[in-house]
Structure 1
Amino acid sequence: MVATLVVSLSGIGPSTLSRCADLADELDRRRVPLSLLLAPRKAVPGEALDWVRARARGTDALVLHGFDHDTDPCRRPVSLRRRAEFSALPAHEAGLRLVAARSALHRLGLATDAFAPPSWLASPGTLVALRRHRFAVCADMAGVRDLRTGDVRAGRVRMVTDHWSYLAGVGRAARRGGFVRVGVDAADLDRLRDPLLEAVDIALHHGAVPGTYSSADSPLGSTMNSVPSGAVVDRTR
């Protein structure tokens, strides 16, 4: 079985743009596309968002990464601990936030039917809401779900670290023909750029085929373009 490699990038913004662009250039040389994780409420109009639009018109995939990463979206009167935005929501509340997120994306001139929850944690209610609102893919901590068929491709997210065991784990997964999911926050690229690229090179060396969470030719892929045809970008917002 041939391994699949998916590299995801979050935390894209004005302060991290140069590092994001550098990483994208390195991956382009390796013919490895990026899955760009974006929370629309946190997106700042300007060069970084223009860069996301340009990349999404190419081989990179846009993935909705929550709405605003609010840790208490239901506004509970008593909160015992902080939770990721979609980790504990019932279906109705999750649906409201998904509608708001899609609307915000549309105003930015973007669209996607692929979803990756903040911290990679999605409640059962969130999965129900994603299906109701016709999302195609949900990438969570343990695997990637085809929301149209119910199929799940197992493979945990491997957030990049600089420890030797990280590279060893990537190599093992690739050799076994597994699903190699490499994730990084742009804020960490100063420290983790080289380990990430080394992990990618190891996976490719073992024959992994690069893809994204929205690969059109994947059985788990999205069918929606990242930049909608005829979209008008409001640059005043």
Structure 2
Amino acid sequence: MSERHLLLVLHDVAPQTWADYQRFVEMVDALGNVPITWLVVPDFHRRQPLTAHAELCRKLDARLARGDELALHGYHHDDDAAPPRTPRDWLMRRVYTREGEFYRLDQAQARQRLEQGMEVFRRCGWPLHGFVPPAWLMSEGTRLALRETPLRYTSDLRHLYRLPDFQAIDAPGLTWSARSRWRRGLSRLVCAGLAACHRRAPLLRLGLHPVDMRHDFSRRYWVELLVRLLEEGRQPLTKIGCLNRQSPQLPGAGA
């Protein structure tokens, strides 16, 4: 791919997190035509179903009308599986994250939650092309369940995957862990290094989270990085917009 592209992706979109993103999104909109992929959680932490929040649904309707994309991001965004039994499970589900909802689900469980999420999108009248598991963690059962759906893509931290065959497209992601001051400081250093390393990558993703927006330090970093990448000539796209431009036989992609 001769052009270089950029995907701006906002995670954990729900009634509880919408206000976190408002100021950032206003700054992005002021830059011009920068489409956003919004990762929508239908019932975030089981606290307020999206379908009960008509105002947010109207706002997401408006984002679609601007040319943005809405993608499914888990269902509860909460790991409610049995407690971890192995050191690896404990590391992944208690240290790395406590929100890997699809990390331990079997095929039937994953299929049920995917169907529930797709039904929410149908009820809202939103087109749905992709699914991103919370924390980018998915079980083998989830992978099998995704092959049975009409969804066109999923992703992890390094790739987009064209469904149903999980054909991988290189798409390195930049993201922060911003829950504490030391994490924000370390994330800035790591992210700057990765941005330099992937400067010539055909496709680059910025994966932002609500907690990033609660601190001027991290929010300012993302705005400045976005502006710099645009000035360097990267073309912003949604995930499905990017997939539609990609050839299935793109060099460097594989199953």
TM-score (norm 2): 0.75
Secondary structure, in 3 states, of the residue corresponding to 2:79? coil
Structure 1 distance, partners of 2:197, 2:38, is: 25
**Higher relative contact order at CA 8 Å, sep ≥6: structure 1 or structure 2?**
1
Q: Of Structure 1 and Structure 2, which has the larger fraction of its residues in helix?
A: 2
Q: Match for 1:4: what amino acid?
A: H
What is the aligned partner in structure 2 of residue 35 from structure 1? 37
CA RMSD across the alignment: 2.5
1:53 partnered with 2:61: yes
After superposition, the Cα gap between the structure-2 partners of 1:212 and 1:65, relative to the gap in structure 1 and judged at 3 Å, is: same
What is the aligned partner in structure 2 of residue 132 from structure 1? 148
Higher mean Cα deviation, 113-122 or 123-132? 123-132
Structure 2 distance, partners of 1:92, 1:14, is: 28
State which of 174, 182, 195 in structure 1 corresponds to 2:221.
195
Structure 2 distance, partners of 1:66, 1:38, is: 8
For these two proteins, the number of residue pairs brought into alignment is 217
After superposition, the Cα gap between the structure-2 partners of 1:124 and 1:171, relative to the gap in structure 1 and judged at 3 Å, is: same
1:185 partnered with 2:205: no
- Please give the residue correspondences for 1:39-188 in structure 2 after superposition, counting only pairs within 5 Å: 39-42=41-44, 43=50, 45-73=53-81, 76=82, 78-80=83-85, 81=90, 82=93, 84-148=100-164, 150-160=166-176, 163-174=188-199, 176-188=200-212
What is the aligned partner in structure 2 of residue 232 from structure 1? none
Q: Deviations over 1:127-163 (max 9, x none)?
A: 2211201110102122100114542112332114552
- Please give the residue correspondences for 1:197-236 in structure 2 after superposition, counting only pairs within 5 Å: 197-215=223-241, 217-219=244-246
Structure 1 distance, partners of 2:197, 2:230, is: 12
Secondary structure, in 3 states, of the residue corresponding to 2:198? helix
**TM superposition shift of 1:18:** 4.2
After superposition, the Cα gap between the structure-2 partners of 1:114 and 1:195, relative to the gap in structure 1 and judged at 3 Å, is: same
Structure 2 distance, partners of 1:147, 1:170, is: 27
**TM superposition shift of 1:196:** 0.6
Structure 2 distance, partners of 1:41, 1:14, is: 9
TM-score (norm 1): 0.80
Percentage of matched positions with identical amino acids: 24
Structure 1: segments with no counterpart, 5+ residues: 222-237
After superposition, the Cα gap between the structure-2 partners of 1:65 and 1:39, relative to the gap in structure 1 and judged at 3 Å, is: same
